[in-house]
Structure formats: C-alpha cells, structure tokens
A and B are shown apart, each in its own frame.
Chain A
Amino acid sequence: MKIMNMVNAINDALDIKLYDDKNVIVYGEDVGVEGGVFRVTEGLQQKYGVTRVFDSPLAESGIVGTAIGMAVAGLRPVVEMQFCGFIYPAFNQIISHATRMRNRSRGKYETPIVIRMPYGGGINALEHHSESMEAIFGHIPGLKVVVPSTPHDAKGMLISAIESNDTILFMEPKRIYRAIKQEVADGKYTIPLGKANVLSQGSDVTVVAYGAMIREVQRAMVMAKEQGISVELIDLRSIYPIDRETIAKSVKKTGRIITVTEGPRSFGVGSEISQIAIEEAFLSLEAPPSRVSGFDTIVPLPRGEYHYMQDPYKILYEIERIVKY
C-alpha cells in the first residue's frame, strides 16, 4: 500500500503495463521528456526508453490516427490528448476509424487503444481547458468512455482499459488530480469497466455522479443529512457501457434520481440516466428524474466559471426540491 494521488496512481498503472507488456506504447504531446503537462507520465521515458514513451508532433489527429495503425499491427498504444478541448482534430479518427475498424473488417482488425484525456473545470484555466464533453463521446457507437473518481479507481480502471481490446476514452478529472490522496494497493489489480460503484447507501434519493462531481455531491450530502435526507450515491465510473442494472436497482428503492454532471445539460449523460430510470422504474418514481448540470453554454472564462460549475449548494437545492416534490 502506498498513499497516492490520482496522478501517481495513473503513472503507476502505466508503469505496470509498460513493464508487463512490451506492446504497450505511450505517446502524445509533451509526455516524454517533460512527463506530461500534469506530470502524469513523469519518469516513464527514462525507465522505458524513447521508443516506448515519447513526444509526438503536435497533432491530435495524427496521434489517434497513428495509434489505430499501431493497434491493427499488434501494439497497444496508450495516447494522451493534452486537454479535453484539443481532442477535436482527432474526432474524425475516433468516430470514423478507431470505433469502426473491428466491425468494418468483420472482426479481423482490433483497435486496443486507450486515449487518456484530462477534462473538466474548476482550475481557473484558459479557454478550451475546462470542458466536460463526455456526452458527445458516449454517443459514438463502438467507443467506451470511462471516468475514475479516486486514485484507487484510476489505477484499476486504467489497467483494465489497457488490457481491453476495445478503444477506450479514459477521461481524467484534472481538478482532483492531486486533491484526493488515498491508499492504493501495490502491483496489478483491475476494476471492471462498465460497472458503477454504490458509494453510499441511502433511502430518499439516488444521486448519480462521476469524476470530480463525486466530491461535490458528498459535501452536499453532509448538508442534506442535517435535513434528515438520506442520499444514495452512485459513482457511475463508466459513461458507456452504462450500468443500467445498478441505476435501476437504486431508483426502484429510492423512487427519486438526480444526475450531477459538469457538462452542458441538453443531450447529456443526465438525460440518458433519466431515461433509464423511466424505462426501468417508471412505477417506482415519486418525482421526475432530474439533472444538475452546466448550462447549455460555453464554459465561462475563470472569472465567471463558478456560475457554471456544480457545487454542493446547487446539488443540495436540487436534492431538497426533488425530495419535497
């Protein structure tokens, strides 16, 4: 056991898989010499050499496109998009090829690629550095989209992702990269992708969240408890595949469900979860499934970002509203 933050835990997972499997290749912008702008890949180039951990030219489409080529030729690339806002040049390669290659080649070619990407707001960053656009990726057939919320989960989920034969977008909540420290087991362990994690049992309302929003919900839960409201908190962990069963089971018990996400509201992850609640627990519902989310706007620059971000008050407001409904 070691005390680790999420940066350390992701680094540890990469280290384990680089050691484990010589087909694992790590690259992206500034991931080599510098060890990544968030230092997530620090020390790996020194340990595994420049043919396995390296700086690529500045080209996101190039990074994902070449990863597809490497993958069909037997390697297991783990590539980094430096910030969520810069993935869009690679969108074409993801949606047109990475997620279609197996299907198109009738199973002959697989694309075991992990695309790591810091996302989310709350760090006073420049434009294009604070978005939380998991919903548009969840919409892509053939892509898995996962989000850890703790160092422990980050390590186990990343190892699972690297070992998976699918293309996986591994979204890292950069706001809590260093904010949460916990004991993380040594060596290799995996956490299955596609399974949510019930963090707190409760009886009045189910709250579904993931990534940096978990901590915000937990703070709101302290205030809700003072009002005598019992919240069941589900860490979704995986945007797609989505854990329908865990959501259904919980909402059947509580009769109420709120999804807390950072990104814009419309056509978001909250919309999908509300729909699952309706489909699976229609007769148990005591309030309309609800969403706490960003506005359908651009993430404001840092001065106004707090208006946009979800905080414990916004979550408490919605919990009370839904419980009293």
Chain B
Amino acid sequence: MFKEYDPLKNKIFRVMDDSGKIINPKWIPDMKVEEIVTAYKKMLFSRVADLQIVSYQRQGRIYTYPPNYGQEAITGAAGAAIRQNDWLVPAFREIGTMMAKGVSLKEIFLYYMGYEEGSNFKNASQVLPVSVPIASQLLHAAGIGYAIKYKDEKKVVFAFVGDGGTSEGDFHEALNFAGVWKIPVIFIIQNNQYGISTPVKMQTASSSLAVKSVAYGIKGIQVDGNDFLAMYRALEEGSRLCLSGDGPVLIEAVTYRKGAHTTSDDPTKYRTKEEELLWEERDPLKRLKAYLISKDLWSEQEEEKILPQYREEVDRQFQEAESFGEYKKEDIFIHLYSEMPDDLLEQKNQYDRFLQWKESRFNNQKK
C-alpha cells in the first residue's frame, strides 16, 4: 500500500467516494461488519459529545474547548486500530481515540472545566495527557518508540499532530529521530486545512504533508481522512509495519475542521461558506453511514433511536463532571516534585494564613 501510494506520486488513498460508494475494493479493510458498525457508533457518539460540549461552552458551563467534529473518521479509525497495549500520544483534537483507549468523557469534561484531575485517566493506560504546545509531543512519541524497541515489546505508538504542527522544528526532529532509530511509531497528521486561521498552503510549499516522509527515509501515505475505511486500512497497515520492524510511518489524513479552532475562534474571519459547504458533502459520518445503509447494516431509524440515548449519556457524564466538587487548592502544590520542597510548603502555609486572615477580616465574603 505504501508503495502503491508513494507520496511522490501525489495520489491520495481512498476506499470509498464522497457518497460512501466503494471505489477501491482492493483495499477494503478486513473488518467484521459488527466492528464497522461499532466504529460508526463511536464516531457518532463523539460527534454528539462534541456538539454538546460546544453548547455547554456557550452556556458558560465549560471553558475554552477545541472541537473535533468533522475529523471523526481519523480519530475513530485510530480508536478501532489502536490496541490496549499500544501508546496514544495525542495533540488536543483526538477525543474519539482517547475514549477508545478508555479515557472517559467525564475526564475530558473535567479538563476543560479547568480541573487538573481531568488528565488523571483512571481507566486508560498508555495515554499521555493532551499537549498544547504544538508538535512538542511528537518527540515524546519517538522516545516511547525507542523504549518499546529497547525492551523488545510488541507495541505501537499512535502520535498525533495537526497540519500547522508540521511547521514546528519539533516535527522535523521527531521524524528524523524516528527515522534514524527505526522505531514503531505511526505519526498521524490531522490535516484539517487550517492552523487557526492559516491555511495549509501557507505552512508549506511541499506538494503534500505526506511527502515529507521521503526526506526522513520513512514510509508515508496521504489518506482521505474523511474515509473511515481508508483510514482504518492505512493505520492497520502502518501498525503491521511497525510491529514487524519496518516503522516508523507517516500518515497524512486529509480532513476538515468543521468547527472553530477553539470556542474562542471565529472561522468566518478566514474561510468561506462555500468552502464549508463543499466539505459538508465529504462529512465522514455521512459517508460511512451511506456505506452502512447500502449494506443494510444501519438505518435512519436505528440512528434516530440511538441519538437521544447518546445525548443523554453525554449529559449524564457532563453532570457528573459538574458535580465534581470544589477545586482543592492542594492540587496546585502536589505532583510538582516527588517530595514537596520546604520552601514550597512554606508558600502553601503562607497562603493558608492569608486565607484565615481574609476570612476573619472580611467575614466570609466571597473571593
């Protein structure tokens, strides 16, 4: 596959067309039908969650949030392809994959409600917390890849970055290290066309982002990131290569950020309605749904039935997060050092003395 879709050929790997019709039967992934349906349902859940988070934010119940919608085929396919003992190194637009690894929506909510505890994933292992400084996480992925190879483990690292992130020096360094070390890392670029307002053509003069793999001497492929079947197949193949010592690989997943960069951003400043409508036609959920319906594996009725359940489940977890309770000021001081230095402890004590003074002085007035 990586040979057939050599990035130098400027071909994009697709299995289905925009209407969900199979156009590349040779590369249909070997998935059970139930697995595809399950993946679709998870993508749908992620979409529902995302849209609800944006509305919670508008209601002032959550702080700034970077929406994922439009990119569910990538994070959903990665969620289906990643195994329990594989590592996930996210950027910050991968809730689908994080949930597949066992991160709860409640934890995601807590993080965006401004609790550090939201990055304490209780039931997910081998998932790093989100990384806000762009592309910096890719080097950690390379380090994990080295450790896997060193310990001779059968694991793969799934590492994410956006199109804007490919401009950072850390992107270059990570791919270069990974190439030199020949480690089991799948670098996934979610090319959603924009780094905040800046279009990908202003990030690079390269013919694609996938073609950058050539210079690092690693395998690369450009995939239709809104085509679940293609994404899954590419990730599965990438995973297989990594496990057989032929990693790392670079996958450019071409997609579109349907929402804003974050809830603080206004995309009407830099992109057109026409462009948004064009990508609406290529919506990843719409395409997979059309495919499933054509195979009689899914129906509008089933979807209508399941949507209210999903909304309710999202809301249930949101309310659980909302009742997480008072922010504990101790959370600021712990986990910074293996043992708290005396000077820091004294700062904490000073703060307690101040709070006592304030309470007695201002009779319990609010902060």
Contacts and interface: CB of A to CB of B under 8 A. Distances in A.
A306 interface: yes
A304 B169 contact: no
A86 B118 CA distance: 22
B133 A128 contact: yes
B167 A297 contact: no
A93 to B, nearest CB: 10
Given A295-B351, A296-B347, A298-B336, A128 B168 contact: no
A89 B170 contact: yes
A304 B333 CA distance: 11
Nearest to A308: B332
Nearest to B353: A317
Contact of B344 (A37, A296, A303): A296
Interface string A285-325: 00000000001111011111111100101100100000000
Interface stretch (B192-200, B247-255, B292-300): B192-200
Nearest to A65: B169
Contacts of B336: 297-298
Contacts of A58: 134, 164-165, 167-168, 195, 198, 203
State the majority secondary structure of interface residues on A: loop
B354 A317 contact: yes
Interface residues of B, number: 46
Given A86-B134, A302-B63, A303-B327, A55 B197 contact: yes
Contacts of B358: 313, 317
Contacts of B344: 295-297
Contacts of A61: 168-169
Contact of B332 (A33, A126, A300): A300
A265 B167 contact: no
Contacts of B362: 313
Nearest to A266: B343
B114 A55 contact: no
Nearest to B196: A30
Interface string B317-332: 0000000000111011
A165 interface: no
B215 interface: no
B203 A128 contact: no
Contacts of B269: 33-35
A62 interface: yes
Contacts of A127: 132
Contacts of A305: 114
Nearest to B333: A297
B270 interface: yes
A57 interface: yes
Interface in A181-207: none
A12 interface: no
B309 interface: no
A35 B202 CA distance: 16
B64 A29 contact: no
A125 B343 CA distance: 28
Contacts of A37: 196, 264-265
A216 to B, nearest CB: 13
A19 interface: no
B347 A265 contact: yes
Contacts of A297: 332-333, 336, 344
A124 interface: yes
A229 interface: no
22 contacts: A33-B269, A55-B197, A57-B203, A57-B204, A61-B169, A62-B167, A62-B169, A88-B133, A89-B133, A124-B63, A126-B132, A126-B262, A295-B332, A295-B347, A296-B344, A298-B336, A303-B327, A304-B116, A304-B331, A311-B367, A313-B362, A314-B354
Interface of B: 63-64, 111, 113-116, 118, 132-134, 164-165, 167-170, 195-198, 202-204, 262, 264-265, 269-270, 327-329, 331-333, 336, 343-344, 347-348, 351, 354, 357-358, 362, 367
Given A58-B165, A305-B114, 8 more contacts: A37-B265, A59-B168, A89-B168, A126-B262, A301-B114, A307-B351, A311-B367, A317-B358
